[in-house]
Chain A
Amino acid sequence: MSLVEVRGLKVHFPIRAGVIFERTVGAVRAVDGVDLDIDRGTTLGLVGESGCGKSTVGRALLRLEPATAGSVFFDGEDVFAKTGEELRRLRRRMQMVFQDPLSSLDPRQSIGSILAEPLRTHDVVAGPALDARVRELLDVVGLPTNAVSRFPHEFSGGQRQRVGIARAIALSPDLIIADEPVSALDVSIQAQVVNLLEELQQRLNLTYLVIAHDLAVVRHISETIAVMYLGVIVEVAPSDTLYDEPLHPYTIALLSAIPIPDPEVEDRRERLLLVGDLPSPANPPGGCRFHTRCPFRQPTRCHDEVPALRELRPGHQVFCHWAEEVAAGQITPTYAGSVPAAEA
């Protein structure tokens, strides 16, 4: 059984209007029916462009954002059924690493106090053992022990993220949700933090949900990758399979945008350009959500029939009516100019 099972997760944010008598006039469907499974000890990468709802999925899993519908089972326990003290106890086992390491650390707290907080909150250790545990955590993430009495603003971005990671592992959780863990860092520091995350995973048998928009980072760290578009998951596949044989048109377009570090190959690289902007999640397109921007769009089914997430090959699921034909090269993409302006 998977450690995390997400079924039909929906997170809608109501749009309210009116000054005194507020009424709900619609909803931003940030997450609109997401299923996910994460096996113990593995890493699931969740990718997608800004605004597709990937961060909201992470927050809803941790109950930091109320879900509208669906269920999340964590190690067999219904996360959404927990309240009060039960929820607090469950939080020990699921932790989060944030994108911006500076804003996610209280500027007035010393590093020692930041790391001691989760331990104190859950009465894990106290007294001299607490100090020892804090020092041990610093050591595990590769920070000097004299960091204890310093403040977040005294550290570099990479070091701050190490503090954030140390705080997340303080309670020895099973699951860590990392929301864009390296995107705020310099490229030279990104690799160090990614390596640290991998090292910790092996050492502590952690399960990761890594949310990112950087495909290279996700490929490096994940066993499985889920691609999200406008609140739904459009493709799930083992990491290498996804990169070698993407099946969904959106994934194909995303991957074709990665530059290749070889000028000759780069020159011949064929890019599949997506036209238009991400449609509003308050009013997503009917049928397949991607049909307004899809270069492989067909005259039938795409605009009026909602596709199902189908398992085409073992472990490889696709949310597209025409995935087989696209994979077989029977359908060729149309390019930017040919999409009528009114629909784009």
Chain B
Amino acid sequence: MSLAELEQVQTSTEVESSGGLLREAVTRLRRSPVAIIGAALITLFVLVALLAPVLAPHSPTAADLTKVRPGSVPGPSAAHWLGLDEQGRDELSRLIYGARWSLLIGIVSTTLGVTIGVILGTLAGGLAGWVDGVIMRLMDIMLAVPGLLFAIGLAALLGPSLKSVMIAIATVNVPIFARLLRASMLSQRGSDYALAARSLGVRRSRITLAHVLPNSLAPVIVQATLALATAIIDAAGLAFLGLGSADPSVPEWGRMLAESQNALNTSPQLAILPGLAITVSVLGFTLLGEALRESLDPKLRR
């Protein structure tokens, strides 16, 4: 057994520094420039949203119709850095407050979608049999309708309000997460460690919840980050179509885009600025999501 002892001494010194799997993923993430750019954009976006009352130079809703005439909207000036919109409201302040709504809708709808999706996916992947069949056919039906169209229909049905936007976007996300988790759980369920747990006499519920589920969550986490980006785009799309908040003074990026249409010839910046805000925030989540996918999946590691 002297060889065994040698082997132990060797590895015990080299493993001292490393921690769990998660820590390794974080270390890999830190080295990825894509992740750093993504995280920086998200941090900027979140800070702007949180500090909106401090950062915004003016009220986002205070309209000054004396300064604007149809066809003539004042551009950038010392008092209004990004100019006014067609109703005489400070464009910069509206953009800053708009980040709040985008972030709120994105987080709430994604969290809701992930939660319900994970519950349904766990039921389908864990129980199998007819439960799996019923849940997955239901998800198939929901997936058969194009996502945004489904969201528009739901939002219209629920009436224009931020709550219905969140519910609509969350609903569209549910089948995506349910399918993803179920597929991941099915492959993990056949793994040797699940078999080992069965041979030890571990109960099926515990195998599913304590072993299979935690090992199946990586793709869901990645998808959630990417879904946040899609949620922001979808929310803008719904607001653009007039399905956002019932209060017309709420500064949503999507509605700002829609309202800018009338003044597109004279003041194109009113369309470009909210569009840019949407792009940058979405890019942040997409970059981080892709980097997460790479760091969590050892097969994609470069």
Contacts and interface: CB of A to CB of B under 8 A. Distances in A.
A103 B193 contact: yes
A62 B196 CA distance: 11
Contacts of B197: 106, 117
A121 B8 contact: no
A3 to B, nearest CB: 17
A24 to B, nearest CB: 18
Interface in A67-90: 87-89
Given A118-B201, A188-B3, A192-B1, A100 B192 contact: yes
A159 interface: yes
A92 to B, nearest CB: 6
Interface string B254-267: 00000000000000
Contact of B199 (A95, A109, A146, A188): A95
Contact of B20 (A96, A104, A151, A167): A151
B144 interface: no
A44 B132 CA distance: 41
Contact of A144 (B8, B20, B201, B211): B8
B300 interface: no
A303 B39 CA distance: 71
B199 A62 contact: yes
Most buried by A among B3, B15, B193, B197: B193
A106 B215 contact: yes
Contact of A103 (B7, B192, B201, B202): B192
B214 interface: yes
A157 to B, nearest CB: 10
A305 B280 CA distance: 77
A156 interface: yes
B178 to A, nearest CB: 22
A151 B196 contact: no
Given A88-B201, A154-B15, A159-B8, A104 B3 contact: no
B7 A156 contact: yes
Contact of B191 (A92, A103, A142, A150): A103
Interface in A94-110: 94-96, 98, 100, 103-109
Nearest to A143: B8
A192 B3 CA distance: 8
B196 A167 contact: yes
Given A146-B12, A151-B20, A154-B15, A96 B196 contact: yes
A64 interface: yes
Interface string A136-166: 0000001110100011011110110000100
Most buried by B among A106, A107, A121, A159: A106
Nearest to B24: A153
B201 A107 contact: no
Contacts of A108: 20-21, 214-215
Interface residues of A, number: 42
B200 to A, nearest CB: 4
B66 interface: no
A171 B200 CA distance: 9
B15 A150 contact: yes
A141 to B, nearest CB: 10
Nearest to A122: B201
Most buried by A among B5, B193, B199: B199
Given A142-B1, A158-B4, A96 B21 contact: no
B198 interface: yes
Interface in B11-58: 11-12, 15, 18, 20-21
B1 A106 contact: no
Nearest to B211: A106
A133 interface: no
A106 B193 contact: yes
Nearest to A101: B192
A91 interface: yes
Contacts of B191: 103
A29 B20 CA distance: 43
Interface string A28-72: 000000000000000000000000000000000010100000000
B193 A153 contact: no
Contacts of B192: 98, 100, 103-104
Given A91-B201, A100-B192, A118-B201, A107 B4 contact: no
A91 B8 CA distance: 31
B200 A158 contact: no
A95 B202 CA distance: 12
A144 B8 CA distance: 8
Interface string B174-198: 0000000000000000011101111
B8 A118 contact: no
A107 B199 contact: no
A158 B4 CA distance: 9
20 contacts: A64-B199, A87-B201, A91-B199, A91-B200, A95-B199, A96-B196, A96-B199, A117-B200, A118-B201, A121-B206, A142-B4, A144-B8, A146-B12, A153-B21, A155-B15, A156-B7, A156-B11, A159-B11, A188-B3, A192-B4
In the A-B complex, list the 7 residue pairs whose CB atoms are closest, starting with the nearest: A91-B201, A104-B192, A154-B15, A103-B192, A88-B201, A106-B193, A118-B200
Given A117-B200, A121-B203, 18 more contacts: A64-B195, A64-B198, A87-B201, A95-B199, A98-B195, A104-B192, A105-B196, A106-B193, A106-B215, A107-B21, A107-B215, A108-B214, A118-B201, A142-B1, A142-B4, A142-B5, A151-B21, A158-B4
Interface of A: 62, 64, 87-89, 91-92, 94-96, 98, 100, 103-109, 117-118, 121-122, 142-144, 146, 150-151, 153-156, 158-159, 164, 167, 171, 188-189, 192, 195
